[in-house]
Amino acid sequence: MHNATIKSLSADLAARKLSSVEVTQQFLLRIKALNQRYNCFITVDEEKSLTQARAADALRGAGHARPLTGVPVAQKDIFCAKGWLTTCGSKMLSNFVSPYDAHVVERLNAVGAVNLGKTNMDEFAMGSSSETSHFGPVKNPWDAATVPGGSSGGSAAAVAARLAPAAIGTDTGGSIRQPAALTGISGLKPTYGVVSRYGMIAFASSLDQGGPMARSAEDLALLLNVMAGFDARDSTSLERPAVDYARDLAKPVAGLRIGLPREFFAHGVAPDVEKAVGEAVGQFKRLGCETVEVSLPNMALSVPVYYVLAPAEASSNLARFDGVRYGYRAPEYGDLTDMYKKTRAQGFGGEVKRRILIGTYVLSHGYYDAYYIRAQKLRRLIAQDFIEAFRKCDVIMGPTSPTTAFRLGEKAGDPVQMYLSDIYTIAVNLAGLPGMSIPCGFDSQGLPVGLQIIGDYFAEAKMLKVAHQYQLATDWHDRAPPGIEIN
């Protein structure tokens, strides 16, 4: 049962071969047995999950089922869920029980999906390895001595270890795609504004975007059908007609033009990664696609631009955590100012403090024009590069990450090297484009390699078709990490 996809679980539930209670109990047993090994989940509440499962079975019995009714879905602990501890991987919110649901959680609840638990993550989504969590690092199921990527590493590892059939995550600079690549699963970051950010604890508001994580592109489409939709409570939510993201999955990809940016295959990509991605492109050629060379000349600037803009927005968004209204408060302090200082000094971890300080610096008088305004201008140039590239191609492909999973602690002392882990993903967020990662092979150590597929604005259905046709021809997405079976 735990190796089943959302599609097959939904079919078995519809045929009454399984009940949602049985499915949920199976995954809860696996979490109990394996979570200590991988540290995927921060919060599990068996009674809440089983209550939802019983309600889902009642929905099916009454003939009101949808494809996700009764399917367990893990939630990154950045999404507020009413009555659930919602920590954002931080000490600052370690005691915060949300009084309301995020829009995405509302939509999942409305179709009868089961919240399997809240997954571990980098503190306030700031990281590329899921090592900065207040609750300890997440470990990669393919090799527990390596990272699963970040910041949605808990969601990715839970799906890879078959502790959940699917999960939701967030992507600010690659935080769905990079962990999907490092753990051998599929993950999609939609066009900015397609999925509401309401109730998703903010890191960098112009970059954050929620998205689905699962084993296959077909499952991603089923999840996105529920997650996407207009929400008046989010000023950046886009009011568009409803889309069936699974509508084109069965269509062939013959004639598709694949853009290969020369910058994606320059110095810095590991040979095993380049080889696996090259073989994946070869498979698409056998499916009838053609390749064209494109250029993203400003892509090299995406990392410095991101690490000006994202910290600037974070410094503003995280100002609300001051110990006054909710969350952690320093136990001893003098006056109000002292309480602010001690609460934030004690409540935030090192990486979060680093980004707050950087953001405050670039927004300060005398540096705003030199750094922040210049970064915004470069952001426009990066987006324009993609617009020009899509005049020549239908989708862009390349590596998701320059390397496979690195060892725990390997880059913890060198923030710049850690930041460069997102060199191929950040530009997509800066431009607001959709991007996804699917498994395409392994390196010499048996660690997964991810293929990144980037589409033009609102091209999610096309991207999912491309990924699905590749997955029909290959089995990389069906491979499971060793040692995840339990009695």
Longest dimension (CA), the chain: 70
Give domain status of residue 175, yes or no: yes
Instruction: Look at residue 350 and tell me whether its pLDDT is greater than 80.
Output: yes
Which pLDDT does position 139 carry in this prediction?
A: 98
**Structure-model confidence comparison of residues 246 and 265, the more confident one:** 246
- Whether residue 290 is contained in a domain is answered as no
Residue 108 sits in a domain of what CATH number?
A: 3.90.1300.10
- Tell whether 173 is covered by a domain: yes
Which domain does 28 fall in, by range? 6-250
If you average pLDDT over every residue of the chain, what do you get? 97
83 occurs within a structural domain? yes
In a domain, 465, yes or no: no
**140 neighbors 157 (Cβ within 8 angstroms):** yes
- In three-state secondary structure terms, 483 is coil
* 385, two tokens: 């590069």
Does residue 75 lie within any of the structural domains?
Answer: yes
- Give residue-wise pLDDT tens across range 222-258: 999 999 999 999 999 999 999 999 999 999 999 999 9
Active site residues: 76, 151, 175
- Whether 308 maps to a domain, the answer reads no
Residue 486's CB is within 10 A of a number of other CB atoms, namely 11
Amino acid in position 443:
D
Please write the tens of the pLDDT for every residue from 130-173.
999 999 999 999 999 999 999 999 999 999 999 999 999 999 99
User: Taking the model in full, what pTM does it have?
Assistant: 0.97
Which contiguous run of DSSP H or E holds residue 6? helix 6-14
Residue at 328 is within a domain: no
Domain tally for the chain?
1
3-state secondary structure (DSSP) of residue 430: helix
